[in-house]
Structure 1
Amino acid sequence: MSRRTVLITGASAGIGAALARVYAAEGWDLILTARRQAPLQALAAELPGANVTVIPEDLADPQAPRRLFDAIALRGLTVDGLINNAGFSRTAGFLVTDPEQHAAMIRVMLTAPVELARLFAPAMVERGYGRILNVASLAGRMPATGGDTLYGPIKSFLIKASQGLHLELRGTGVHVTALCPGYTLTEFHDANGTRAEVSAAYPGWMWQTAAHVARVGYEASEANRPSVTPGVMNNLLAGLAKHLPDRMALAMVGGHAKRLKRI
């Protein structure tokens, strides 16, 4: 049987890079995309056992999903797995964040995953095999917080969309899973400027490694679970927030923004 190929967005670092390592170890070939080409090339050099194709792309551009699809087709590659991992956040507050940054967040983390799934899923269904793993967040299972006002709602959408597509494609051979990690040791918090705050606000036991999260995501996708949240404590927090009255749940997550000194 020919080797499977997985497309990973946001693969230059963090969970995306960890997922690339897991899939390569499991015998998959890779198509890696992100804005920065150099880290992608460095990651590709780490994975000598896999055939790795690097296609730099910025998913904040509305035309990027179609360009990516066409670039892959031009190379004669087949996408058996799609991992929508690219993402970022802005935590300074809704009213002081540049609206273009919020628009970019929506395009990268909401619009692009939907468009990429729509572009690649039909051929997966036709072949009777496919994997779609959408990297959401524990934030999508919790009440939204002030400061990073849009992040949680975007991730909630991604979880619900994954669940719906999971049901729609059940029985086709295409698995759809939402991966919902909590605090993970990546450069994500460096990029949004909250590294010092989150490191001081949350104890070490709340943090997971990107390698662990990636392995949990891979296994959940293979098992065709509609969603997975790594870590017992993360699931307890999400369950608690779900069953608390709104006022109490909002008070609980309100402490998050205060600890980060964002509102």
Structure 2
Amino acid sequence: MTTTPPGHTLITGASSGIGAALAREYARRGRPLVLTARRVDRLQALADELSAQVPVEIIAADLADPATPSALFAEAQRRGLFVATLVNNAGYGVPGRYLSADWDTHARFLQVMLTAVAELTHRFLPSMEAAGHGRILNVASMAGLVPASAGHTLYGASKAWMIKFSEALAQESRPRGVHVTALCPGFTLTEFHDVTGTRDRVSRMSPGMWLDAAQVARAGVDAVEAGRVLCVPGWRYKLIRQMAKLLPDALMHRIVAARAKDFRDAE
């Protein structure tokens, strides 16, 4: 039986999609929230929705700014908030082949997807370990568990990094009472594909391949509470993960390359 840690749950990228679903799931479980994202209007709307269930703090922040992680931590400290659960959810994709975007675009992506995750974890983890309990839920992706395809070149690489980061951190922190989980959903019904301009492509996929954001959030929270290091929601994606482990690499690369045009812009 796990004990619910006191304190707040801080969720990055909470204004929509899986982040908003995670906020609703934690609110359903009675966890006070700290919600952060760039879009203040959406954050406020979500806070208004959930404040009848739990206390909700909002902090507008853009993780593409290298100064944001330290400023976010300082603001939480200033408000006297103990962050018992950190959810590193903020993320997006850069469509097209690697050289179709300039370096500044890639640099901002890496800041959000890697550096901010590492820094926020480094800043909030010590107080969890000092208290002897805590949770870190890193929202990765199936893209980090299967061979990469052309297009969105850094996305799969960033998610693979997040998975390995979570695995190592879980081993380090478990003896100190902190659970760390990498949540690896497949295609999920959010606005992600609208933002990346691939909605027309992915809409042609089988409906059975789509996960519901609430389903993903529930699976992720259950996993981190139970201390499971890796969470792959949905039986189809569990099967794909096993295929990726068992089939020869060359065959998996051919399969991914053949299907990539259905969900990736490689031009």
- Displacement of 1:2 in angstroms is 9.0
- Cα offsets for 1:113-171 (capped at 9, x unmatched): 11111000011000011000000000000111111111001100000100000000112
Q: Is the 8 A contact 2:150 2:264 kept in 1?
A: no
Task: Report the TM-score, using the length of structure 2 for normalisation.
Answer: 0.95
Q: Unpaired segments of 5 or more residues in structure 2?
A: none
Question: Which residue does the alignment assign to 1:216?
Answer: 219
Tell me how far apart the structure 2 counterparts of residues 29 and 140 of structure 1 sit (CA, whole Å). 30
- Find 2:170's aligned residue among 150, 166, 171: 166
Tell me how far apart the structure 1 counterparts of residues 88 and 19 of structure 2 sit (CA, whole Å). 9
Tell me how far apart the structure 1 counterparts of residues 5 and 192 of structure 2 sit (CA, whole Å). 35
Aligned-residue identity in percent: 51
Question: Which residue does the alignment assign to 2:110?
Answer: 106
Count, aligned residues: 262
- Find 2:54's aligned residue among 29, 50, 55: 50
- Find 2:25's aligned residue among 22, 27, 35: 22
Instruction: Summarize the alignment of residues 75-86 of structure 1 with structure 2, pairs less than 5 Å apart.
Output: 75-86=79-90
Q: Is the 8 A contact 1:9 1:16 kept in 2?
A: yes
Tell me how far apart the structure 2 counterparts of residues 261 and 238 of structure 1 sit (CA, whole Å). 19
CA 1:214–1:261: 2 relative to 1, 3 Å? closer
CA 1:69–1:59: 2 relative to 1, 3 Å? same
Residue identity in the other structure for 1:198: V
- Find 1:207's aligned residue among 175, 187, 210: 210
Tell me how far apart the structure 2 counterparts of residues 68 and 206 of structure 1 sit (CA, whole Å). 36
Tell me how far apart the structure 2 counterparts of residues 26 and 231 of structure 1 sit (CA, whole Å). 22
- Find 2:246's aligned residue among 234, 243, 248: 243
Question: Which residue does the alignment assign to 1:127?
Answer: 131
CA 1:131–1:197: 2 relative to 1, 3 Å? same
Tell me how far apart the structure 1 counterparts of residues 67 and 43 of structure 2 sit (CA, whole Å). 21
Q: Is the 8 A contact 1:3 1:27 kept in 2?
A: no
Give the root-mean-square deviation of aligned CA atoms.
Answer: 1.3
Three-state SS of the structure 1 residue aligned to 2:106 is helix
- Runs of at least 4 residues off by over 6 Å: none
- Displacement of 1:26 in angstroms is 0.5
